[in-house]
Structure 1
Amino acid sequence: MTAQTPRPRYIWQHPAWPQLTFDSTALASALDQARLEQGRLLGLLGAIGLDEANAVQRELWVQEALATAAIEGEQLNLESLRSSVAHRLSLADAPGADRSVEGLVQVMGDALANHHAALDLDRLCRWQSALFPGGTSGITRIAVGRLREHLDAMQIVSGALGREVVHYEAPASVQVASEMDRLLAWFEHTRPAAGAAAMNGIVRAALVHLWFESIHPFEDGNGRLGRALADMALAQDMHARDTQANPALVQVYGMAHQMLKTRAGYYDALNRAQRLRGIAPEARTLDVTAWVLWFVESFGQACIASQAVVRDATNKAQFRQRAAQCQTNERQRKVLERLLEAGHVGSGGGFLGGMTTDKYAKITGTSKATATRDLADLLIRGLLRVEGVGKATRYAVNVPGWEQPPIKG
């Protein structure tokens, strides 16, 4: 009696792998909407001043780096990250001191700034090495700067010890080199060119991310590298559509941040795409339309979220211009800037509890009487608005549409 061959479970076990397919008609509406939101975002960014654009780009890049690490459960040092991003954008002289943070920023920057350069295995290995400058992931030693070589199965697992759930198993290490050769050849062959009838760039970004994650070629860092590859594909798409566009603006799209916000949905969509469906062999296909649709819709949502960030930057710039026309003193300018930087509820911020006379006096180091006069003056000038009366009096920066956190008490 011969043993039965195990039923294929994952897409790389399909006879037609890696010929991923998708239904263009089913994607058409979502792609049109994604392009519309992309255009709106870039239009908003192009309409604000250079200083504001640089500030938006820097902050969104920081948020992207935080998000792509957080998806893997890693928390980065914010101060070091901001320094590294500012250095990468030529807004600061020196990078941050944290080597792992700087390594991630370098990977993200190289994927965008050098999107035109050929993507080969050596480059990917250098990216992975940059993520783990000490040769460890946590306290565990891992292979850095080379493909995984271990004989154990590469599995994506969750759950307590002894009750683990295997979500996905990647190809054996011995297959990885040849798998990567095919992926890199495809990525180069499908590179978009200006005016050429090529694959939609957002779809291509979705496919390269899925394909790379399905191979899972390194011992660690695959998620961050896979998202960098998607960003690189988007940068190539942006350049093909507008040769004057700055590829670094890809970080403004906020795709990693959107993935983090919907992390469960992200992992679920990816896991579903990596598994073969259907019992009968003839029913199992490499159709990944559902994954691509998830990616495209997430891209559109990411652009909408980033539009709000750009609008906030525009509101801040307009407020600062209005405030500059008023003869405010140094104390007032300091408090107004503190309130502006705190943001509002819609942006996930807001000055907690509102500004009070006591808080104003403490922030500026002045007397309560002076604080009262300063706040009354700002109120008359229309730079602040007031809520409540008596001891419940609170002041908020007067930016149209900005909602502040509710007053507790």
Structure 2
Amino acid sequence: MRWNWTQTGWPQFIYDDAQLKPLETRFLLSSGEVIGAVHHISDEERNLLRIELLSEEAVKTSEIEGEMLDRLSVQSSLRRQFGLDTDNRPIKPQERGIAEMMVDVYDSWSGPLDHATLFRWHGMLMTGNHHIGTIGGYRTHDDAMQIVSGRLDNPTVHFEAPPSREVPAEMAVYLEWFNRSAPKGAIPLPALTRAGIGHLYFESIHPFEDGNGRLGRALAEKSLAQNIGQPSLIALAYTIEHGRKVYYDQLERNQRTLDITDWLVYFAETILEAQQTTLKRVAFYIGKARFYDRFRGQFNERQEKAISRMFREGPASFKGGLSAENYISISRTSRATATRDLHDLVEKGALTRSGERRHTRYALNLLAINGTE
């Protein structure tokens, strides 16, 4: 099996930039929409939005790798990192670590990439990890670095990265490429092209014992931020997680060739989808902030609990809407009380109602709050 890094010409990737040009144009237009949406909100709403989007990305980029984190704990840690008021919620080391890394990526987006930055991110990401030998440094073990699945006695090898002894030299070339391809570098590349190459290139070197996927997605965020001139806050990990199998299939297929047009088109389309998700989330979180401003102090404890739970579901909310049974389960109250509470929420304009009898469903009324109704 000839992996990409074993082929003549590595790491000079080949691609058809004509297929990417219309996608690059769409990216720049959508970037303007995202930037414009964020600039039209208050500083307080912007802080809330930043915490919400970064926490969602932190949770999803970990979920892609099979690690499940508590989103509220990640949010609490992010608030501390940004110097905002927070609760005393207990935070596990890995939740604190990913929050620290996300804030560092956010704050250092404009700076050049170097070994120290990657080591710092890896150290944060691996906080509390006692199962790997090298934290905050490139791998040094003699065993082959392989991506495998299946039975231990008969595994399927999806990819094998360069030996550990070659990693420092490979990463020196990678860092030079990353910085030279930046907007102000010697060989600037368009945003989607650069992010796509950078992610596949990094994953192919696989320089760390663990955390390469999360770091590779962080590098895509940094790359995009440099091209648009500010942190992107793009829902990249969220979008990848929803199509995780396709993501891994594309990586595997394109780590066997230096002609990566298919990969770049796939990754570009994923980023464009992530932008649209971000726009929807911006509208949702702005609506959330204004919803609480409008209805502050008007809900009882049961209603507060149910509303909070509905917001935690995100823009998709409960599939088909909140039912009376959902409300009873969340608030742990009787049917009669649930009926009164829900009627009150509709009367106040906090919820909308649809359907009849057992098919009655309730949804958050964000349209009126956002002024689009």
TM-score range, shorter chain: 0.7 to 0.9
CA-atom RMSD in angstroms: 3.5
Deviation at 1:339, TM superposition (A): 3.0
- Name the residue aligned to 1:160: 151
Separation in structure 1 between the aligned mates of residue 346 and residue 105 of structure 2, nearest angstrom: 48
Quote the residue 2:137 is aligned against: 146
Q: Does residue 169 in structure 1 map to residue 163 in structure 2?
A: no
Gaps of 5+ in 1: 1-7, 240-244, 277-285, 403-409
Conserved? CA contact 1:81–1:96, under 8 Å: no
Where in structure 2 are the equivalents of 1:53-68 lying within 5 Å? 53-68=46-61
| Structure 1: distance between partners of 2:311 and 2:150 | 39
Which residue of 248, 258, 270 corresponds with 1:267?
Answer: 248
Cα distance in 2 for residues equivalent to 1:353 and 1:375: 10
Aligned-pair CA distance for 1:255: 0.5
Normalising by the residue count of structure 1, what TM-score does the alignment of the two structures yield? 0.78
Q: Secondary structure at the match of 1:166?
A: strand
The amino acid across from 1:142 in the alignment is G
What displacement does 1:287 show?
2.0
Partner of 2:214: 224
- Once residues 326 and 240 of structure 2 are traced to their aligned partners in structure 1, the CA distance between those partners, rounded to angstroms, is 38
Return the alpha-carbon distance in structure 2 between the equivalents of residues 368 and 159 of structure 1. Answer: 52
**Given residue 92 of structure 1, which amino acid in structure 2 is its aligned partner?**
D
Give the aligned residue type for 2:22: S
Q: 1:108 to 1:360 in 2, by over 3 A?
A: closer
Query: Per the alignment, do residues 379 and 186 of structure 1 end up closer, same or farther by CA in structure 2, a change over 3 Å counting?
Result: closer
How far off its partner does 1:118 sit? 3.2
Give the Cα–Cα distance (whole angstroms) in 1 for the partners of residues 330 and 200 of structure 2: 52
Matches within 5 A, 1:128-147: 128-136=122-130, 140-147=131-138
Partner residue, 1:113: 107
- Label 1:169 to 1:47 Cα distance change in 2 as closer, same or farther (>3 A): same
For 1:357 and 1:152, how far apart are their aligned partners in 2? 53
Identity fraction in percent: 34
Offset of residue 198 of structure 1: 2.5
The 8 Å contact of residues 41 and 307 in structure 1, kept in 2 or not, is answered as yes
Q: CA deviation at 1:338?
A: 3.7
The residue that corresponds to 1:305 in the other structure is: 277
Cα shift readout 1:159-192 (whole Å, capped 9, x = no counterpart): 1122211111111112111111111111122221
- 1:1-12 equivalences under 5 Å are 9-12=2-5
**2:267 match:** 295
- Counterpart of 2:277, as a letter, is A
Note the residue ranges of structure 2 that are not aligned, 5 or more in a row: none
- 1:126-157 residue CA offsets vs partner (Å, 9 max, x unmatched): 32222223452xxx342222222222211110
1:23-42 to 2 correspondences below 5 Å = 23-42=16-35
Question: What residue is the counterpart of 1:184 in the other structure?
Answer: 175
The count of aligned residue pairs is 366
SS in structure 2 opposite 1:260? Answer: helix
Task: Give the whole-Å Cα distance in 1 for the aligned partners of 2:194 and 2:183.
Answer: 9
Residues 116 and 361 of structure 1: CA distance in aligned 2, closer, same or farther (over 3 Å): closer
Question: What is the alpha-carbon distance in structure 2 between the residues aligned to residue 179 and residue 78 of structure 1?
Answer: 35
- State the AA in 2 paired with 1:133: T
Cross-structure match for 2:77: 84
Find the residue that maps to 1:164 and give its secondary structure: strand
Q: Distance in 1 between matches of 2:96 and 2:337?
A: 48
- Equivalent residue runs for 1:357-368 within 5 Å: none
> Contact 2:324 / 2:338 at 8 angstroms: preserved in 1?
no
- Equivalent AA in structure 2 for residue 347 of structure 1: P
Does the 8 Å CA contact 2:238/2:274 hold for their aligned counterparts? yes
Decide which moves more: 388-397 or 72-81: 388-397
Aligned-partner Cα distance in 2 for 1:375–1:170? 56
TM-score (structure 2 length as normaliser):
0.84
Offset at 1:270? 1.2
Shift of 1:102: 1.7
Aligned twin of 1:349: 317
Local SS of the residue matching 2:20 = helix
Q: Which residue of 1 aligns with 2:190?
A: 200
Partner secondary structure for residue 165 of structure 1: strand
Q: Which residue number corresponds to residue 210 of structure 1?
A: 200
Distance 2:94 2:32 in 1: 34
1:48 Cα deviation after fit: 3.1
2:67 counterpart residue number: 74
Tell me the CA shift for residue 309 of structure 1.
Answer: 1.5
Task: Provide the secondary structure at the position in 2 that maps to 1:272.
Answer: helix
What is the identity, as a one-letter code, of the residue corresponding to 2:240?
Answer: M
- Offset at residue 44 of structure 1 (A): 2.2
SS at match of 2:224: helix
- Contact 2:323 2:360 (8 Å CA) reproduced: no
Question: What is the aligned counterpart of 1:100 among 72, 88, 94?
Answer: 94
Q: Equivalents in 2 of 1:69, 1:97: separation in Å?
A: 16
Q: Aligned equivalents of 1:41 and 1:169: distance in 2? A: 38
**Cα separation, 1, equivalents of 2:83 and 2:32:** 26
User: What is the Cα deviation at residue 261 of structure 1?
Assistant: 0.8
Which amino acid in structure 2 is aligned with residue 77 of structure 1? D
CA deviation vs aligned residue, 1:254-308 (integer Å, no higher than 9, x gap): 10111111111111111111103xxxxxxxxx22111111111101101111211
Q: Write the letter of the residue equivalent to 1:90.
A: G
User: Secondary structure of 1:236's partner?
Assistant: helix
How big is each residue's C-alpha offset from its partner over 1:15-36, in whole Å with a ceiling of 9 and x where there is no partner? 2111113211111122222323
